[in-house]
Structure 1
Amino acid sequence: MARYDGLPDELRRWLASAALPWSARSALRLWQRALRECPADTGHALQALSRAEMRLLQRDAASVWGQEYPRA
């Protein structure tokens, strides 16, 4: 919990509404990587997190519901 408490406020707000149960460590790693690409652009960092989450959800959907999801 201490790691979570130490996260930047914007990242904590994003995690509160995330679809997946991100660890503080994983979320912070992606956040910092995005900020290295575009320093001080937290909007870019939030978009990077959302894109990563979408990729993970799409990957998991195929294994949970089958390769044809959502067309099945």
Structure 2
Amino acid sequence: MTGRGKSRNLRSRIKRRRRAGSPMQAYDALPADLRRWLASACLPWSPASALRIWDKVGGEQNPGQAYSRLNAIEQSMLQQDATVWDIARQS
């Protein structure tokens, strides 16, 4: 292994959480449009958090608006985490 070390992915500031239940069953229960979006997402989303946002925005009635909101949240999280990786590259 190179000089990066095994813990390079542990520098993220995004909170880690344990999930209860079967993640695949929760994923399979999601609406098909939301599953399609999750399949192409950059970050690993929990089915519960994705569904919460989907429902709040009214994804069944307006999937386009729900996609926009999910994309905005994901971009915000990527920008938040980018500062960690920029610091890691400078080290």
- Offset of residue 39 of structure 1: 7.0
Letter in 2 for 1:49: L
2:50 alignment partner AA: A
Give me the TM-score of the superposition, normalised by structure 2: 0.66
Displacement of 1:54 in angstroms is 0.3
| In 2: Cα distance, 1:64 partner to 1:3 partner | 31
The equivalences for 1:10-21 within 5 A come to 10-21=33-44
More helix by share: 1
**TM-score relative to the length of structure 1:** 0.82
The ranges of structure 1 where at least 4 consecutive aligned residues each deviate by more than 2 angstroms after the TM superposition are none
> Percent identity of the aligned residues?
47
Match of 1:30 in 2: 53
Query: One-letter code of the match for 1:41?
Result: N
- Please give the residue correspondences for 1:1-72 in structure 2 after superposition, counting only pairs within 5 Å: 1-35=24-58, 40-66=61-87
For these two proteins, the number of residue pairs brought into alignment is 64
Aligned-pair Cα RMSD in Å: 1.5
Unaligned runs of at least 5 residues, structure 2? 1-23
> Relative contact order (alpha carbons < 8 A, sep ≥ 6): 1 or 2 greater?
2
Task: Please identify the structure whose Cα radius of gyration is greater.
Answer: 2
Instruction: State the distance in 1 between where 2:67 and 2:54 align.
Output: 7
Give the unaligned 5+ runs of structure 1.
67-72
Task: Please list the CA deviations of residues 14-72 of structure 1 after superposition, one character each: whole Å capped at 9, or x if unmatched.
Answer: 0000000001011111111111xx87111100110000000000000012213xxxxxx
Match of 1:70? none
